[in-house]
Amino acid sequence: MTIVVGAAQVRERLRRLRTEAPALPEGVSRRMWEVFGREVSVEQAVEEIIAAVGARGDAAVLEYGRRIEGREQGALEVSREEIAAARRSLDAGLAGALAEAAERIRDFHRRCVREGAGQGWFDAATGLGQAVRPLERVGVYVPGGTAAYPSTVLHTVIPARVAGVKSVVIASPPGVDGRPSPVVLAAAAIAGADGVLAMGGAQAIAAMALGTESVPRVDKIVGPGNIFVTMAKRKVFGLVGIDGLHGPTETLLIVPVTGADAGASAAVCAADLLAQAEHDALATPVLLTNSAALAAAVEQEVLRQVRELSRREMAEASWSQRGCIGVVGTVEEAIEIANEFAPEHLCLMTRDAERYLPLVRNAGGVFLGRHAPEVLGDYNAGPSHVMPTGGTARFASALGVQDFMKTMSIIALPETTGKALAGGAARIALAEGLTAHARSARMRAGEGDGGTR
């Protein structure tokens, strides 16, 4: 890890992080050879899995689960009794924390509905409007394997429920006992999911998109996952909707050291960076500051704190390969660099952070001030922690109730308006060579059979 000095050098470092595709870890490449018996790309592997699930349903889902994970499992469906038992067995403190988080998430998304999302309109005078309807069935992917993510359950299922989705099912990889993590099952009960399926990877995405004997076909798939899950979502898009292609997490901290912000804590900055680095070896933790002294202190703090982490190896790999501490001139310059990078999480760690918010154009989530760290957004602040990554915050948004709704345009023109518009519509139709369109329009204008000239 090196400290980068100067705006131009920082921009170049961040550009490389965006454009240089990281190689698959050696262990993943080796495992793919073992599973498929030949050298295949991620895309080829996913295409094979999707085709198999389409042809053989549950049997293919179970087969690829066994081949990839190296163990047998029981039925794909997790029973209601098993989910209820997981909730009852939850530690009381954790149960309370999840319930509190669920309520805050629910309140936030209910407010989004009240403030306009999900509200249709109709203007009788113009005959135009928009109807909003919730999706019928949604599939939620909740990652597993190296960690359990009950928070992802809350941050995906609850917005769907608030939006009015009729059926929400979760797919989560089975653990060593062949079932999803008990804490994930408990969170599913708290969030109000209709069911949980013990399946992961590309085969889970394929099953939800295509439908199998045990898995209902959904209208949309949401939630983060590994590179195979993301590739599968890309491949099934069109058969179903998706929320986005979520890559490894990333955070960008802006920490000025001037005036009221002279006391910025290197230890806190390091902790915030490592909170992202421990997610994934491909996670991207970035700090921008105007202080070379703080930059050096944060680097030393990261090296000290990382030794104490349970996921030390993961965090060290992220920090050494994709970490960056940049020294730039001003907060405004740092924000402009952040806008170009378009991070998933942007943290403005300054006492007067609100005054800089109008300058921010591209970020999945903006965290203002020292008391609103990104880690609280991960768990219990309220907005969904499923946010755009990989620079897609330039055009994409954080997951919310709007992702679980669709709009239908309403056109109910009064007779006078229909007649007034018909002539112009006919002219445009003829310019496009569509004479039937022109005839239909002219008939509304009262021009006999409409003609074709």
Specify the pLDDT at position 169: 98
Judge whether residue 191 has pLDDT over 80. Answer: yes
Q: What is the rounded CA–CA span in Å between residue 321 and residue 303?
A: 14
258: pLDDT confidence band, cut at 50, 70 and 90?
Answer: confident
Among 86-90, 143-147, 235-239, the least confident range: 143-147
Mean pLDDT of 364-373: 95
Query: 352: Cβ–Cβ under 8 A, 6 or more apart, which residues?
Result: 260
Higher per-residue confidence, 67 vs 28: 67
Token code pair at residue 252: 């960008």
Q: Are 412 and 126 in contact (CB under 8 A)?
A: no
Q: Do 379 and 262 belong to one domain? A: yes
Torsion sign (Cα): 388, 398, 188, 284? positive
For residue 53, tell me if it sits in a domain.
Answer: no
For 99, the 3-state DSSP assignment is: helix
For residue 127, tell me if it sits in a domain.
Answer: yes
Residue holding tokens 């730039």?
Answer: 328
Q: Are 354 and 252 in contact (CB under 8 A)?
A: no
10 burial via Cβ count (<10 Å: 0-12, 13-18, 19+)? buried
pLDDT in tens, 95-129: 999 999 999 999 999 999 988 767 888 999 999 99
Q: Where are the alpha helices (DSSP H) in 115-181?
A: 150-163
Q: Do 134 and 199 belong to one domain? A: yes
Backbone Cα Rg of the chain:
26
Q: Do 260 and 326 belong to one domain? A: yes
Specify the pLDDT at position 160: 98
Residue holding tokens 């109008």?
Answer: 358
213 burial via Cβ count (<10 Å: 0-12, 13-18, 19+)? exposed
Q: Are 174 and 199 in contact (CB under 8 A)?
A: yes
Query: 37: Cβ–Cβ under 8 A, 6 or more apart, which residues?
Result: none
First vs last Cα of the chain: how many Å apart?
72
Q: Do 238 and 268 belong to one domain? A: no
For 207, the 3-state DSSP assignment is: helix
Specify the pLDDT at position 231: 96
For residue 321, give the CATH number of its domain.
3.40.50.1980
Q: Do 257 and 124 belong to one domain? A: no
For residue 287, tell me if it sits in a domain.
Answer: yes
81: pLDDT confidence band, cut at 50, 70 and 90?
Answer: very high
For residue 83, tell me if it sits in a domain.
Answer: yes
Specify the pLDDT at position 73: 84
Q: Do 315 and 376 belong to one domain? A: yes
Q: Do 221 and 264 belong to one domain? A: no
Mean pLDDT of 37-46: 91
412 phi-psi bin (left φ>0, alpha ψ -120 to 50, beta other)? beta
For residue 96, tell me if it sits in a domain.
Answer: yes
Clarify whether 246 is annotated catalytic: no
Specify the pLDDT at position 412: 96
For residue 302, tell me if it sits in a domain.
Answer: yes
Specify the pLDDT at position 448: 63
Percent of the chain predicted with pLDDT > 90 = 83
Q: Do 238 and 262 belong to one domain? A: no
Residue holding tokens 């690829």?
Answer: 64
Q: Do 271 and 225 belong to one domain? A: no
Clarify whether 345 is annotated catalytic: yes
Question: Quick one: which of 211, 207, 115, 219 has its CA closest to 162?
Answer: 115
Judge whether residue 450 has pLDDT over 60. Answer: no
CA angle (398 as vertex; 366, 288 as ends), nearest 5: 30
Q: Are 71 and 176 in contact (CB under 8 A)?
A: yes
Q: Do 213 and 333 belong to one domain? A: no
Which one of 345, 385, 437, 447 is the catalytic residue?
Answer: 345
| Full DSSP string of 318-364 | HHHHH-EEEE-S-HHHHHHHHHHH--SEEEE-STTGGGGGGG--S-S
Mean pLDDT of the chain: 93
Q: Do 200 and 106 belong to one domain? A: yes
Question: Quick one: which of 219, 216, 175 has its CA closest to 199?
Answer: 175
* Domains identified in the chain, total number: 3
Specify the pLDDT at position 275: 96
116 phi-psi bin (left φ>0, alpha ψ -120 to 50, beta other)? left
Q: Which of 244, 261, 280 is the last residue of a domain?
A: 244
Q: H or E stretch including 270? A: helix 266-277
Q: Do 374 and 265 belong to one domain? A: yes
pLDDT in tens, 300-331: 999 999 999 999 999 999 999 999 999 999 99
pLDDT in tens, 409-442: 999 999 999 999 999 999 999 999 999 999 999 9
Token code pair at residue 343: 């991070």
For residue 3, tell me if it sits in a domain.
Answer: no
Q: Look up the domain containing 316 and give its range.
A: 248-395
Q: Which of 244, 275, 300 is the last residue of a domain?
A: 244
Mean pLDDT of 345-352: 94
Specify the pLDDT at position 20: 84
For residue 436, tell me if it sits in a domain.
Answer: yes
Q: H or E stretch including 197? A: strand 195-198
Q: Which of 224, 244, 264 is the last residue of a domain?
A: 244
Which one of 344, 371, 415, 432 is the catalytic residue?
Answer: 344
pTM, full prediction: 0.93
Specify the pLDDT at position 241: 98
Neighbours of 229 (CB within 10 A): 25
